Amino acid sequence: MTAAVIALGANLGDAKAALQGAVDALAATAGITVLACSQVFETDPVGGPEQPVYVNAVVLVDTALEPLALLGRANEIEQEWHRTREVRWGPRTLDVDIIDIDGAVIDTERLTVPHPRAHLRGFVLVPWLAVDPNAMLHGRAVHDLIADVDVSGVRALDPAVSLQVPA
From the candidate CATH numbers 1.20.140.150, 3.50.50.60, 3.30.70.560, 3.20.20.70, the one assigned to the domain spanning 2-156: 3.30.70.560
- What does the pLDDT profile of the chain (167 residues) look like in tens digits? 999 999 999 999 999 999 999 999 999 999 999 999 999 999 998 877 788 999 999 999 999 999 999 999 999 999 988 766 666 666 888 999 999 999 999 999 999 999 999 999 999 999 999 999 999 998 999 999 999 999 999 999 888 888 989 87
| Active centre residues (catalytic) | 83, 92, 95, 97
pLDDT reported for residue 83: 65
Q: Strand, coil or helix: what is 73?
A: helix
Tell me the sheet residues that pair with 42.
55, 155
pLDDT reported for residue 87: 60
E strands of 78-118, at which residues? 95-101, 106-107, 112-113
Task: At 21, give phi and psi (nearest 5°).
Answer: -60, -35
For the full predicted model, state whether its pTM sits above 0.85.
Answer: yes
Length of the chain measured in residues? 167
